[in-house]
Amino acid sequence: MEILYVFMAGASVGSFLNVCISRIPKGQGVAFSVSKCPDCGTRIEFRDLVPLMSYALLRGRCRACGGAIHGRYPAVELAAGLAFAALYMKYGASLEFLKLSVLASFLIVAGIIDFETGEVHTSLIAAGASAGLAFAVVAPGTLADSLLGALLGFGVIAAIALTGGMGWGDADICLLCGLFLGVKLTLLMLFLSFLLGAAAGTALIALSVRGRKDSIPFGPVLAVSALSVSLFGNSFLLLYNSVML
């Protein structure tokens, strides 16, 4: 039952992440404001804000005007719920679970905003970096590793950005990830993100979704890579060390 509660908590966080995704690109505040239908402007009732369930019961339509509710809303709630549940299964009720759940939340927001708008917002990265630095200070012996991880993540992508190959927003996301993951996992995340990015770009071009000269948002790739490393990175490093030694 514990895992179900964690999933529900994650899905509830996902509801708030949807608010952030909708409002941050518009420069709007995300706290202490009511949710409204984007089509008719009607205030959304509390009964229609239950994660996943409300969308299913309303069949993806606004109760007031019948306008379609974007499928991104339940998708984000589901993604956050699954991420929280997977991290809890890996780390249990621990500081590491809390830290990586916070990272996953920031990455979901940053990745989807980048996917939808092609932008990475400094305010979001600053808030996430502040949280990452706070966890690094609280957890004994991790501050130096976190700072070096942030420097590594930012530095590698910044070097590519200087050539025009990537955007500075991607470097900011990697700085954020480095603070939470540390040096070794950040290096692994970068390696995995380049592999996934190449595979995704090839697939999109092959399917004629993107042209060879079109830019492809890298934020979602970084988000998936960082979450994957959060779950499996240490196991991979242990396996690698056992094979090499």
* CA quadruple 207, 210, 212, 213: dihedral, nearest 10: 170
Instruction: Look at residue 210 in the predicted model and tell me its pLDDT.
Output: 66
What are phi and psi for residue 43, nearest 5 degrees?
-60, 130
Nearest to 79 by CA among 182, 235, 220, 192: 220
The Cα-based distances of 45 to 33, 157, 168, 179 in angstroms read: 13, 44, 40, 38
- Directed axis angle between helix 143-161 and helix 122-138, to 10°? 150
d(CA 65, CA 81): 29
Say which amino acid occupies 116: E
pLDDT at 245 over 60: no
pLDDT at 113 over 60: yes
CA angle 22, 25, 30 (to 5 degrees): 55
d(CA 230, CA 115): 21
Mean pLDDT for 201-218 is 73
Tell me the per-residue pLDDT of 17-72, one tens digit each, with 9 for 90 and over: 999 999 999 888 777 667 777 778 778 887 878 889 988 888 888 888 888 888 89
CB contact burial 178-200 (16+ within 10 A = b; e otherwise): bbbbbbebbbbbbebbeebbeeb
Quick check: 189 and 225 in contact, CB under 8 A? yes
Tell me the per-residue pLDDT of 160-207, one tens digit each, with 9 for 90 and over: 999 888 889 999 999 999 999 999 999 999 999 999 988 887 887 777
